[in-house]
Amino acid sequence: MSVTVRFAPSPTGRLHVGNVRTALINWLFARHEGGRFILRIDDTDTERSTEAYETAIKADLAWLGLVWDETFNQSAKFDAYAAAAEALKAKGLLYPCYETADELERKRKIALSRGRPPVYDRAALDLSEDERAAHEAEGRTPHWRFKLSGKRVEWDDLVRGGQGIETASVSDPILIRGDGSYLYTLPSVVDDIDAAITHVVRGEDHVTNSGAQIEIFEALGAKAPMMAHTPLLVGADGEGLSKRLGSLSISQLAEDGVEPMAITSLLARIGTSDPVEVGDSLDQLAEAFSFDKIGRASARFDEGELMQLNAEIVHAKPFETVRETLEALDPRAAREDFWLTVRANCERVRDAVRYVEMAFGEITPVVDDADRDFIAGAGAHLPEGELDAGSWGAWTGALKADTGRKGKSLFMPLRLALTGAPRGPEMSALLPLIGREKTLERLKAASG
């Protein structure tokens, strides 16, 4: 069987870490199986959906590397949904209801006060033709509910194992609102049938929907796809995703200098039995993908971990991949020797510019009184000629022999005098960038 999956965002907001994980899992599974990944834009809610969000969602997915084989909009398919609704009505499985929101709320409260579950009582099924006509004459337009079988719906979930929903204990779902608009339930099933979706992969907040949707698949004469419901993301503390994290958009992360592979590596691995580490590529993550590795416990999204992965990626980035970014930030930073010197100290590519002044510009040397004489005399031992990768070793070797200083008391005063900071890139690599003239200048400024 060839696999076809879909990711179905509503274009009513930006992609965030929670829904992008669903996209990623679908994509990885499709790639692993040599199958197809469809991007379905769930824009039946024409009031809240915007083209701008749709464009942004597509840009974010492309930036992450989650390319789709096909995309379509639900807003182009209203005819198909209407036809499906008619087919269900003809079977007596979609019935008109006239209760107002207030009436439904009253019914709910009464059921609860009597200790009964607040399940819709199906009163509308008992309406006579005359009663319906009377409601319509009053100007009420019906909303339409799907008649659940009242049986237990079972499926073997690829993540959760054997699942069962007692449809007798849930309300018949409303498929069409009073204004004629569709809730997500029916269009999703119609599209899953049309696109021959083999696996519906989504968050576990959809488990209950699956009970009703499996019955709708069958009512429309189709076999329900396989289902996989993944645990939701939680924050590092194990609590639900904070509001901030939950709405942390992919574009925000990109603007903050987070690398796409850091996001995809983390999201592919948290909540699985694989260690959280940087993947070489999306294809490598796809190769390792298996639903069997996804646990039932919620997946912890830790921003600290994200930045660790980011740093690891940045530390290995060849100059060619960052040249343009550096050029745009500060043309002085767009040099290979500079990048190779500073990248190990960068959590994000842009951090490199912090070291531009240190290497090529002006700094304020720092010196302890106790080290002033040492610094004043240090220049005399600087190796002759142009400074290179061996100069720092030769210089500090000579200073050690001359002053008896070693370890931190040898290196730290030099670093402070030459860079103005107690930490930074390797001095052996930095020294040739600073160059002979500036080195001597800074030593002089520090000892003066």
Rounded least distance, CB 315 to ligand GLU, Å: 36
Kindly tell me which of 190 and 378 has the beta carbon lying closer to ligand GLU: 190
Q: Tell me which residue has tokens 């840009």.
A: 59
In the complex, least distance from residue 6 CB atom to ligand GLU, rounded to whole angstroms: 7
Least distance between ligand GLU and beta carbon 273 (Å): 24
Comparison of 209 and 428: residue with beta carbon closer to ligand GLU: 209
Task: Report the interhelical angle of 51-64 vs 260-269 (nearest 10°).
Answer: 80
Query: In this structure, which amino acid lies at residue 173?
Result: P
Q: Which residue, 21 or 135, is less far from ligand GLU as judged by CB? A: 21
Q: How far is the CB of 42 from ligand GLU (least distance, A)?
A: 4
CA distance 2 to 153: 25
Phi/psi for 335 (5° steps) reads -135, 135
d(CA 151, CA 169): 9
Smallest separation (angstroms) from ligand GLU to the CB of 287: 24
Within 10 angstroms of residue 79's Cβ, the number of other Cβ atoms is 8
- Please identify, using beta-carbon distances, which residue of 184 and 411 lies nearer to ligand GLU: 184
Q: Which residue has the tokens 């030459």?
A: 418
Q: Using alpha carbons only, what angle is made at residue 13 by residues 284 and 238, rounded to the nearest 5 degrees?
A: 60
CB of 203 to ligand GLU, least distance (A): 8
Of 182 and 395, which has the nearer Cβ to ligand GLU?
182
DSSP-based three-state secondary structure for 143: strand
Rounded to whole angstroms, the Cα distance separating 15 from 286 reads 21
C-beta of 9: minimal distance to ligand GLU in Å? 6
Which is nearer to ligand GLU, 182 or 339 (by Cβ)? 182
What percent helix, strand, coil does the chain show, rounded to 5? Answer: 55, 15, 35
Nearest residue (CB) to ligand GLU, 20 versus 367: 20
Structure tokens at 96: 């008109």
Half-sphere exposure at residue 58, Cβ-oriented, CA atoms within 13 angstroms: 16
Identify which of residues 95 and 184 has a Cβ nearer to ligand GLU in the complex.
Answer: 184
E-strand stretches of 255-357:
299-301
CA dihedral sign, ordered 440, 443, 446, 447 = negative
Of 10 and 391, CB closest to ligand GLU: 10
d(CA 183, CA 173): 9
Q: Least separation, in Å, of the C-beta of 206 and ligand GLU?
A: 6
- 380 phi/psi in degrees, rounded to 5: -65, -25
- Beta carbon of residue 184, minimum distance to ligand GLU (angstroms, whole number): 5
Measured distance CA(265)–CA(285) in Å, rounded: 7
The residues that touch ligand GLU, with contacts defined as CB under 6 A, are 8-10, 42, 184, 188, 202, 206
Whole-number Å distance between alpha carbons of 440 and 448: 12
